[in-house]
Amino acid sequence: MSKHATFGAPSSIAEANQARIARLLHQCGILSRAYIAKALGLTAPAISKLVARMIESGLVTETGDLPGARHRRSIGLALKTAAYRVIGVKFARSRVDWGVFDLAGKPLQQGALPLMSDRDIPGTVQAVTVQVNQVLAADPSIIAVGMAVPGPYLRHEGRIALVTSMQGWRGVNFLNEFSQAFPVPTFIEQDARAGALAQNLFAPDHRTPRLTGPNGPAARPTAATNLAYYLVGEGVGLGVIESGRLINGERGGATELGHVSIDVNGRPCECGNRGCLERYCSAVAIHETMCAPEYSGSFPQVGGLDHAQACQLLFQRAAQGDEPASELLERVCTCVGYGCVSIINAFNPSRIVIGDLVAGAGRPLLDTVRRIVSERALPELRQSTRICLSSLPADATLLGAAAVAVDRFLQAPTAYASLSKQRAGKSGHKPVIRPAKESQP
């Protein structure tokens, strides 16, 4: 949410139908006018008129002939995903990452702010504002900013209710800090829900396959309507898409899996509970366990690593057959499996996608999780649930932040096309497509 909270809301039936066309093209790729008309239940003349406006505004391009029925040929249409860009900003406990992406989720530029502690948070918030504005000034094709923050995030109040191990983030009001900070709309989402959007928009194995047929896919495309994204990183979170919509809850704190207890007499948590899932399988908990007396002899130098490096060390040592590492990894994976049991029994998704740092454990994680689910989840529910690791990059939450902005674009593409022209006009030059690169601010 931002000062642009209502920006881009379709103001007419025509604009709403253009949004439907844009989302269909984003999901399926190149389609014919005839296929779009059939898929959306609109007449061919209506589609021709709408598409003509979208071509004129720079949203859609014609791609050439497509093979059609009875040897007829149709002109293909594609959404101009490379012409519009968004910035994604990921707030983790100890670091902030940012990136520029096109509408297809292709990374074009990425960077990270220095690692921080609690006392550095105010300066980091200021640095994010400076960094994002610098990137916006250099690229007028950027039309929105998406941010992914740890949960539970109280979306209407703009603040995080709890961040274990980095309580300083609770003092930041993200709406106050960023809603007026940029010349483009800014949208903020809880990190796991942002990850669920990324899976739905960008993951090739979760989008509807592009099956060939006359002038488009052979079957009417359908989005993943019941999807759970299970984030196991510095924290543990869950984003659930139910019937095509994110589950948010009354204040935005729904699906807070990390603070579901798996041991009523277990480790104390900063939330006030005991035995919270996050205290056993998050990257922070893994790092703490590796530094504990029980394992310190096995990982003597782990104290000098960050959380991600500690996890990588554990995974590497376990893969090499190191017994203490293998034993600890099995314990972690078992706890991740308990989380999947809760997801299946509570939400009954068609897919659970496990992502972020701990998903880097790979096949050992997946095998253990599936075993735990087979032993503990309701049989009638688990049989219809597919569990897999994310096929997105390791930092899928950063891509999720971008997905928050892309999803808003797809809700009202006409308004964002107008914004892009305004920004290009003010800058005095047309957007330039640059190759992907890595950079540090």
Per-position pLDDT tens, the chain of length 441: 444 445 666 778 999 999 999 999 999 999 999 999 999 999 999 999 999 999 999 999 999 877 665 556 789 999 999 999 999 999 987 789 999 999 999 999 999 998 888 788 889 999 999 999 999 999 999 999 999 998 789 988 999 888 766 778 888 999 999 988 999 999 999 999 999 999 999 986 544 444 345 555 544 444 557 899 999 998 999 999 998 889 999 988 899 999 999 999 999 998 899 999 999 999 999 999 999 999 988 999 898 999 999 999 999 999 999 999 999 999 999 999 999 999 999 999 999 999 999 999 999 999 999 999 999 999 999 999 999 999 887 678 899 999 999 999 999 999 999 999 999 887 554 443 333 333 332
Which residue is it, tokens 């007026």? 180
Output the pLDDT for position 72. Answer: 66
Question: Helix or strand or coil: residue 342?
Answer: helix
Residue 163's pLDDT is 76
pLDDT at 7: 64
Q: Are 227 and 353 in contact (CB under 8 A)?
A: yes
- Domains, the chain, in order of start with CATH, read 13-79 (1.10.10.10), 85-203+395-438 (3.30.420.40), 226-389 (3.30.420.40)
Q: What is the pLDDT of residue 350?
A: 94
Determine the pLDDT at residue 68: 61
CB 376 within 8 Å of CB 189:
no
Can you give the pLDDT at residue 73? 72
104 and 434 in contact (C-beta within 8 Å)? no
Q: Cα(122)–Cα(171) distance, rounded to whole angstroms?
A: 9
What pLDDT is stored for residue 204 in this prediction? 63
91: helix, strand or coil:
strand
Give the model's pLDDT for residue 130: 96
Q: What is the pTM of this model?
A: 0.86
CA distance 390 to 206: 10
Q: How many CB atoms lie within 10 A of CB 252?
A: 22
Ranges of beta strands (E only) in 233-272 are: 236-242, 245-246
- Decide: 15 and 414 in contact? Cβ < 8 Å: yes
Instruction: Check residue 161 and give its pLDDT.
Output: 86
